[in-house]
Structure 1
Amino acid sequence: MHIINTDYLEAKPIWLGEFDRVLLVLIGCGGNGSYMAETIARFCRLLTQQGKRAQALFIDPQSVEIKNIPRQRFSDAEIGLNKAQVLAARYSLLWGVEILAYPTLFNADLLQGYYNWLIFLIGCVDDGPARSEIAQSLNQNSSSDLPKRWWLDLGNHRESGQILLGSAPTPNHLRWAFQTPSHCLTLPSPALVHPEILLPRPEQLTHAPMSCAEIAILNAQSQSVNGMCAAIASDYLNRLLFGQLKKWATYFDLETGTTQTRYNSPQTIAQFMNR
């Protein structure tokens, strides 16, 4: 006997409330981040055309290296330049939007000048400490009001990946998620759903330099996964901004061609209220 998953049928779209100022923060400008950069610039342009104030921050302390090419969206001419600065210059000019680049690690202090802005933290980092900093910044969200900060996290392995969206740093923040019957008002933070993402990945515990053969293998096996992550995340962002998003997690595997999605239904969100 097959059990029918009715989560989508009961899912409610996320309501962000009224807003006129939007800040899109790209944290990490490498594999997934270099693919998300133009999407973020395009959304800034679209929001500006709709009469809203839109700005983007690109944040990454690393410079372009030969091992990043061609998996990441950089060219040989950009080797040695900071990733955030390269992408900010490229796409601010292309789309005529305001993008500030910070060649540093993400720190919540960078958001201090954006009081009462609606902020989207697009996390494209794969190490625990960086994600922990993003997770902690959600503590600024009220447990009794619409969240002003949302975290869209992109993560991947060689053939698979996940996209997670959330705003609630604690179970207490979720208790009024469905206060209005027609909408979802908040979602569990990616760190609340998958606390293991705050831990360092095993391959990051060694600092041995990669050989040319290892670089070739990495590039050969990762040509599609970053683009897939970015495509799904871009759709999340589009639906979220325009009141149509009914999902908060998507998992995919390119080798098997499978995708699994979790939706904004009361019974699904209730699972995280007692953690």
Structure 2
Amino acid sequence: MKTKKTDKPAVHIVQKELLQPYNPITVNLIGAGGTGGQVLTALARMNHALITLGHAGLFVRVFDDDTVDTANLGRQLFTTAELGQYKSVALINRINRFFGTNWKAETCLYDKKSLSDTELASAIITVSCVDTVQARYDIAEILKNLAKNYGGRNHVKYWMDFGNSRSSGQVILSTLEKIKQPASDLYRPVESLPLVTDEFKELLLSSEQADNTPSCSLAEALTKQDLFINSALANCGASLLWQLFREGILFNRGFFLNLKDFRTQPLKVA
């Protein structure tokens, strides 16, 4: 009697140039609000740890044209002394002073109108923490164009998107091009991870009905988003990125998080 062969587990294997780079890995972080501020702090901690372990570390640019107002205090990582400042500038200045980095703030939107410099737009890893569906589609269009037409050192490879509602959210890792995979007897290497804007189009369109008008106070902001949803997503998403750098192999390409029920559902590489 023949036994049925079991399928090899699907994995995505990271290229060596990200694991043992000669220069810091460039990361473009889009959005410096509730989630973006938390992700930036996680990236700074990750950079410090990677350098300690002999890695070249990260170089991060933060894109956001918004300024700090009173409704941001408490839920986002800003103080009264930073009221009126650009969010990206306030966060980057603090990170640079605390960790001794030389990361950059860009006080503009990440869109075709603002980004005429392809060197600035392109990064090996793009992390988006934006509020609107249209912003995600704009980012996807820019990244796909860069993947086809830009061949510089910071050629785009990965896009990690953070999105959330009041008490739930998701983090999805995508590739902008096929990542060459080694042969494996144990696993089934997957060279492409689908874009969030392609795979979860219906989910994005349904979430577009959410109210994105600015809040006038912290109390009003908390009726729209739970106090800890941003930090919970940021830490789990950063763990996925940390696994990419430290283990070089991914069995999961993201997750769905429900903070109300304390449930996390991984999204497997397939």
Q: Same fold (TM over 0.5)?
A: yes
CA contact (8 A) 1:57 1:99 kept: yes
Q: State the match for 1:137 in structure 2.
A: 142
User: How many angstroms does 1:260 deviate by?
Assistant: 1.1
Match of 1:44 among 44, 47, 57: 47
What does residue 15 of structure 1 align with? 14
**188-197 or 25-34, which deviates more:** 188-197
**C-alpha separation in 2, matches of 1:110 and 1:154:** 25
Matched, 1:82 2:81: no
* Of 178-187 and 228-237, the range deviating more from structure 2: 178-187
2:29 pairs with 1:26: yes
Would you say the 8 A contact 1:159–1:225 is kept in 2? yes
Match of 2:195 in 1: 189
Question: Could you give the per-residue CA deviations for residues 93-130 of structure 1, whole angstroms, max 9, x where no partner exists?
Answer: 11111211011101364762279x86111100011232
Structure 1 position 210, deviation (Å): 4.2
Q: Does 1:113 align with 2:123?
A: no
Tell me the secondary structure at the aligned position of residue 26 of structure 1. Answer: strand
Which residue identity does 1:241 align to in structure 2? F
Name the residue aligned to 1:157.
Answer: 165
Q: CA deviation at 1:40?
A: 1.6
In the alignment, residue 166 of structure 1 is paired with which amino acid? S
Of 150-159 and 220-229, more deviation after overlay is shown by 220-229
SS in 1 for 2:239: helix
Amino acid at match of 2:158: W
Separation in 2 of the partners of 1:47 and 1:107? 30
Question: Would the alpha carbon gap of residues 68 and 130 (structure 1) be closer, same or farther in structure 2, given more than 3 Å must change?
Answer: same
Structural mapping, 1:159-238, within 5 Å: 159-168=167-176, 180-181=183-184, 182=187, 183-196=189-202, 197=204, 201-204=208-211, 210=215, 212=217, 215-219=218-222, 221-238=225-242
State yes or no: 1:92 paired with 2:96.
yes
Are 2:253 and 1:248 aligned?
yes
Once structures 1 and 2 are overlaid, which stretch shifts more, 37-46 or 187-196?
37-46
Structure 2: any 5+ residue segments left out of the alignment?
A: 1-5, 149-154
Summarize deviations over 1:2-37 as a string: whole Å, max 9, x none.
xxxx99x71314323424241111100001001111
SS in 1 for 2:14: coil
Q: Following the alignment from structure 2 to structure 1, what is the Cα–Cα distance between the partners of residues 260 and 60?
A: 34
**Tell me, which stretches of 5 or more residues in structure 1 are unaligned?**
1-5, 269-275
Root-mean-square deviation over aligned CA pairs? 3.0
Q: Report deviation, 1:45.
A: 3.2
Percent identity between matched residues is: 26
